[in-house]
Amino acid sequence: MSSPISPNEQRETITLGELLLALGPDTATLLGSGDTTRAIGGTDFFEALEDLRGDPETLLLVPSTTEMPFARLSSLAERAAQLGYSGLAVKCRESDTASYTAISESSGLAIIQVSERLSWRLFDAYVAHLLGEQHHSEDTHLNRGIEPLFALANELAEYFGGSVAIEDLGRRIIAYSSVPGQLIDALRTQGILTRRVPDSPFNDDQYRTVLRSEEPLKYPRLDGEVPRIACAIRAGALPLGTIWAIDASGEAPLTEEQSRRIRAAATVAASHMLDDIRVRRATQIPRENRLRTLLEGREVIGSELAELGISEERGAALLAFAHGRHDPAVAPEQLCSAVQRHLAIHRPEAIAVVRNSRVYALVADDPTRPAAGLASPLLPILDRLIGPG
């Protein structure tokens, strides 16, 4: 249950409209025509055996509505409206949305439908994070998306019974579970302490396989490592990282429900990682290093294309850019930034680096649109941004 806040304490607020915009329509939708300018200053879970207390500017989370008669829900909405609550958050069947909309219209209270794929704990954590970041510094804003990843890791750990780690492409642990009694081994403990995956003779092959796979994979006990389930985190075809869950059930094969759980978690993690500036930057650095490895042809381990989100079957195309004039005012890094920014609009997997004063950009091979077709319209843009040449 959220901590109550006294009327004398100052607290940050966001409007209902800002909350819906931040969460997105795939996560939360407004049923009816509720007032989207209403302020939200916190959340509270509805307890059926307790009376509602007067707590203005609070979003009331009601997990049990699918088992609640419509008359009871209507009464709850009317009482919450009288007490100044900002709205109700519910999960409901599509066939019931019209009834919920009618309750919202009659009570005058906004009702938000929360996606079934999002747990109540994670929804509560995300709302709290949005509230906390509204008037904080830019440095605090860079952490957006990280706190919900810890909540997500804890939720998975409670299901699998073992420690869960969420990693970026650089194999840095950006979130991990802390559930009492979770199964954990020495390798995971070391990774959490250093925030980086320890070296292991199995690492390269495992990461390459996970990033290539469209489905979660389960690895058996290896040396001191207990069995693990792994799943790639992707935005479309673009890899962002991986989730690793220690499976307390042991060597049993991966079940359909386990697969569904970790795939759903990977989808949620991808949205938070895309939304987090710090994670995006951290993810970009290892991608640049992978391209440099390919350009130099040294220490190639075979997983580079998979980690760059490029199908090994289709292959890749390489574009090279150089400024025609030796103008000291034009830095190669400036050219690289412009190339990366504009190629990514058309090819999300595009990655560009500077090498020997030239800019090299790698994109997936597409027979329907050769790489030269991407470069031609880019050249006039570069002329305008950087100068002819």
CB 350 within 8 A of CB 343: yes
Highest mean pLDDT among 35-49, 136-150, 151-165, 173-187: 151-165
Instruction: State the pLDDT confidence band at 302, using cuts at 50, 70 and 90.
Output: confident
Q: How many CB atoms lie within 10 A of CB 119?
A: 19
Share of residues in the chain with pLDDT > 70 (%) = 85
CB-based contact 310:362 (threshold 8 Å): yes
pLDDT reported for residue 87: 92
3-state SS, one letter per residue, for 18-59: HHHHHHCCCCEEEECCCCCCCEECEEEECCCCCCCCCCCCEE
pLDDT tier for residue 330 given thresholds of 50, 70 and 90: low
Q: What is the pLDDT of residue 166?
A: 94
> For the chain, which domains are there?
14-133 (3.40.1390.20), 138-280 (3.30.450.40), 310-386 (3.30.1360)
Give the rounded percent of residues in the chain with a pLDDT score beyond 90: 23
pLDDT at 134: 45
- pLDDT of 141 above 50: no
Rg, the chain, Cα only: 25
- Paired with 58 in beta bridges are 42
Burial degree of 146 (CB within 10 A; 0-12, 13-18, 19+): middle
Is 168 in contact with 273 (CB distance < 8 Å)?
Answer: yes
pLDDT band at 63 (very low <50, low <70, confident <90, very high): confident
Q: In this predicted model, what pLDDT tens digit does every residue of 224-249 receive, in sequence order?
A: 789 999 999 987 767 888 999 999 99
User: Any residues with CB less than 8 A from the CB of 290 and at least 6 apart, and which?
Assistant: 304, 307, 308, 351
Query: pLDDT digit string (tens) for 183-228?
Result: 988 888 888 877 788 877 777 788 888 988 989 999 988 877 899 9
